[in-house]
Structure 1
Amino acid sequence: MTIVTTDLGHTLLQRLDEAAQHSEPGPGVTRLFCSEQHRGVCDVISGWMRRAGLTPELDASGNLVGRCARAKAGEKTLIMGSHQDTVVEGGKYDGMLGVALPLLALEALQEAGVTLPYGVEVVAFGDEEGTRFQSTLIGSRALAGTFDASSLEAKDADGISLAKALQDFGGEPENIPALARQPDSVLGFVEVHIEQGPVLERRDHALGIVTALTGIERHRLTVSGKAGHAGTTPMPGRRDALVGAAEMILEADSVLNATEDFVGVVGKLDVRPNAVNVIPSEVTFTLELRSPRAEVRAQGRDAILAACRRLAAARELEVSIEQTYSAEAVDCAPWLIEALGDACRASGQPAEPLFSGAGHDGLAMCDLTDIGMLFVRCRDGLSHHPGEAINAADGEAATRALMQFLADLPSRVEISS
């Protein structure tokens, strides 16, 4: 396949810069689900979709969906896309790269006179980060048919429910179940995303093929001791909840560092009474654990929690442990791993495999269809940060690899309805 379109990388970066303008004031990009910034970026993406030959439509769950004529006619369809929402003060590439890049690839194929003999759908998922309502993967679960209607009751910091926000945005919460795609109508789901880690940079590779999306679990631990006057209570015998929690956090860090394919973080900590001269009586902290291997995560979790109980007993503290979230690891489909790898190599790029340490919309879409994922190198492995960055050459490489994949897809799957 010879594509004469040039300077795709710089065009891609310009479009991502344009999308990044739709952000709350402050460092980086802050674009929350069903916000005015979300509304503004949908207008930008709609323009990209039309240039790629797709018809844009806001669906009932807040996704912006672009479909080609074949997809609208009900032919078997490849779904591509990623999320448009961000964390607070995030970067301009996390999520949005996977919206802008496939649209640019489709536009370039169209300009080159390449007609794809199957349906194509590109989705800018409304909510993946869960920043506003703490209820993640709303849009992808809607398409996969696994949407939980109880999540509509979730409220943001201002007390606005998800259902109300969707209604005000133009969505139709009551019609979300009707968005579920039929598995036999979908060829697969492919997402392009920045790596959000340092592996590709260390390999000096622009692209990587994802083999699996990591399993994730979250826990809330509450350590209870006894408050007292910081100046008059002797050090021996103190039941200091913060000291106990600190020991537990250090033990978690030790287990994580000693275990391959296992990462985690204590990202939030609340201290009571949080006074300068009072011994802390209670500490609540979060513990998030990730691994693509369920057995590694289970063994590591058991070791960490057993240590927390042991450390609590040694200081005459109490510890309660509540699991707040769990999602098992998801394997990418072998045929999509092979197809994306072949497309990379055909376009002159190495394509070594690696797993994703982050969750993505594929965690939901796998309930509908086979999933595949292409990673793009990001500077310093940085993500969820204003300094998030890719370069034009890597953007060009990823765009051309996806174009190759799209052109070659009919040789790999049955596309007739």
Structure 2
Amino acid sequence: MTTAREVLDRCVLLDRITSDPPRLERVHLSAEHAAANALAATWMEQAGLRSWQDAAGNQCGRREGRTPGLPALLLGSHLDTVPDAGSYDGMLGVVLAIAVAERLRDADLPFALEVIGFSDEEGTRFGTALLGSAAVAGHWREEWWDLRDRDGVTLHQAFTKFGLDPRRVGEAARAPEELVGYLEAHIEQGPFLEAADRSLGYVTTIAGARRFRLSIIGEARHAGGTPYPRRRDALVGASEAITTIERMARATGDHGCIATVGRIEVQPGAVNVIPGRADLSLDLRAATDAERDAMWDAMRGEIETLCAARGLRLEVVEHHTAPAVPCAPWLQEAVCDGIRSTGDEDPMGLWSRAGHDAMAIGLTTDVGMLFVRCHDGISHHPDEDVREYDVAAALDAFEAAVLRVAAAVEAR
């Protein structure tokens, strides 16, 4: 029976499959992607699963239920990484899923049990996240074929080089009637479990996100010759907008909206020229779409007001929208029962501020998520860390959650 120590050792082995040693980087449709899939396939087969790589490059495994051809309960996470990644984001969830399948290899289940290692959750190579899980959910978009990586390689070309047939990507899609549901274990990527001294938590909903490019337009003029009353400084206006964004988001508290400006570009960008244009990014998230959208309306109003006061103009381009994905109540309860089986009688519910493959899979079946404590909430960084004690609890809870799902299916 796979132990927590073996789970962590397997994460170390995946950690070594990198294109940029000693830093961890493993991107979609790369040689490292293929190597990680092959290693995961070996573990799946050892766990008694039939393994295959699907038409989108996801690594899959399946064990039939009490009769062949039953709908499947899908367990999984992702095998790709961000640049200079940590060792557990995504990987821990895949390895835990395989370990649970191994523990339940002789269980009499009223569904097939499947494990999946998604190929591209992070979007590191082509700039669009959830490619692997979107294919499984049946929501592939034809315009994605023209996406390019930093070397100019299109997604279509990368598919072909990897040995996949772009014409067959639709074969990765799973119909709703083929699935019982989806469960994902993942590090929290936040500090709340650690602050509460909890090993595990259950996810209530996954944040709905909107992303914008905000352009503040002023007038570029000579830095020395233009008096302050005549200035229309776009960068000063952008600075005020950024502090406004932070102030409004912070006022909603720990359980409210999160707003991040991660990039700003200024034109013309000379030391002796008043900036005439500032372009900044805005990533806005909340537990519900209504909260997120209300915050955006309020933010936009305040930014337009401050721009008008400075003689500036605001232009907005929205380039990404993802709806919030609630976890199904019956799967939340299954995960809670799993956590209770470890001795935590009052499981802690959290909304996920980060995106996950469950967001895409939630378009085709019910989803549930188990969060595992990570040190200081650090993620997407080499200092990402988990404790063996917490991984052991996660393994027990995940197994118990699958059995709780089985009981719920039997009771239908």
Q: What is the CA-CA distance between 1:415 and the residue it aligns to? A: 9.3
CA deviations on 1:172-215 (whole Å, 9 max, x unpaired) are 22111222212122110000000111110011010001111111
**What is the aligned partner in structure 2 of residue 259 from structure 1?**
252
Q: What is the CA-CA distance between 1:364 and the residue it aligns to? A: 1.1
Say whether residues 1:324 and 2:319 are aligned partners: yes
Within-5 A mapping of 1:231-246: 231-246=224-239
Contact 2:77 2:117 in 1 (8 A): yes
CA–CA distance in structure 2, aligned partners of residues 415 and 127 of structure 1: 36
**What is the aligned partner in structure 1 of residue 295 from structure 2?**
300
Say whether residues 1:208 and 2:165 are aligned partners: no
Within-5 A mapping of 1:11-22: 11-22=6-17
CA–CA distance in structure 2, aligned partners of residues 264 and 361 of structure 1: 22
Comparing 300-309 with 114-123, greater Cα deviation is found at 114-123
CA–CA distance in structure 2, aligned partners of residues 295 and 139 of structure 1: 28
Comparing 333-342 with 66-75, greater Cα deviation is found at 66-75
Say whether residues 1:132 and 2:128 are aligned partners: no
Q: Tell me the amino acid that sits aligned with residue 378 of structure 1.
A: C
CA–CA distance in structure 2, aligned partners of residues 369 and 108 of structure 1: 24
Choose the corresponding residue for 2:379, options 380, 383, 393.
383
CA–CA distance in structure 2, aligned partners of residues 221 and 194 of structure 1: 32
Contact 2:206 2:352 in 1 (8 A): yes
Comparing 19-28 with 267-276, greater Cα deviation is found at 19-28
**What is the aligned partner in structure 1 of residue 394 from structure 2?**
398
Choose the corresponding residue for 1:174, options 148, 155, 167.
167
**What is the aligned partner in structure 1 of residue 191 from structure 2?**
198
Q: What is the CA-CA distance between 1:152 and the residue it aligns to? A: 1.4
CA deviations on 1:242-299 (whole Å, 9 max, x unpaired) are 1110000000001001114111100111111222222212111110110012222122
Comparing 184-193 with 82-91, greater Cα deviation is found at 82-91
CA–CA distance in structure 2, aligned partners of residues 355 and 27 of structure 1: 33
Say whether residues 1:161 and 2:148 are aligned partners: no
Within-5 A mapping of 1:37-48: 37-48=32-43
CA deviations on 1:78-111 (whole Å, 9 max, x unpaired) are 111111111121211111111111101222333x
Q: Tell me the amino acid that sits aligned with residue 205 of structure 1.
A: R
Say whether residues 1:187 and 2:180 are aligned partners: yes
Q: Tell me the amino acid that sits aligned with residue 278 of structure 1.
A: V
CA–CA distance in structure 2, aligned partners of residues 415 and 35 of structure 1: 44
Percent of matched pairs sharing the same residue: 41
Normalised by the length of structure 2, the TM-score is 0.95
CA deviations on 1:120-177 (whole Å, 9 max, x unpaired) are 1111111111121122211212111111121111111111111111111122221112
CA–CA distance in structure 2, aligned partners of residues 275 and 14 of structure 1: 52
Say whether residues 1:60 and 2:60 are aligned partners: no
Query: Counterpart of 2:248 in 1: which secondary structure?
Result: helix
> What number of residue pairs does the alignment pair up?
409
**What is the aligned partner in structure 2 of residue 274 from structure 1?**
269
CA–CA distance in structure 2, aligned partners of residues 294 and 27 of structure 1: 40
Contact 2:121 2:131 in 1 (8 A): yes
CA deviations on 1:302-350 (whole Å, 9 max, x unpaired) are 1111111111111111210011111111111111111111121123234
Query: Counterpart of 1:236 in 2: which secondary structure?
Result: helix
Within-5 A mapping of 1:34-113: 34-70=29-65, 73-110=68-105, 113=106
Contact 1:98 1:192 in 2 (8 A): yes
User: Unaligned 5+ residue runs, structure 1?
Assistant: none
CA deviations on 1:202-236 (whole Å, 9 max, x unpaired) are 11010001111111111111112222232333333
Q: Tell me the amino acid that sits aligned with residue 131 of structure 2.
A: I
**What is the aligned partner in structure 2 of residue 372 from structure 1?**
368
CA–CA distance in structure 2, aligned partners of residues 26 and 415 of structure 1: 50
Normalised by the length of structure 1, the TM-score is 0.94
Say whether residues 1:221 and 2:221 are aligned partners: no
Query: Counterpart of 2:230 in 1: which secondary structure?
Result: coil
Query: Counterpart of 2:351 in 1: which secondary structure?
Result: strand
Q: Tell me the amino acid that sits aligned with residue 15 of structure 1.
A: R
Moved over 6 A (4+): none
Q: Tell me the amino acid that sits aligned with residue 22 of structure 1.
A: I
Contact 2:65 2:108 in 1 (8 A): no
Q: Report the CA distance shift for 1:72/1:51 in structure 2 as closer, same or farther (over 3 A).
A: farther
User: Aligned-residue CA RMSD in angstroms?
Assistant: 1.9
Q: Tell me the amino acid that sits aligned with residue 13 of structure 1.
A: L
Contact 1:220 1:284 in 2 (8 A): yes
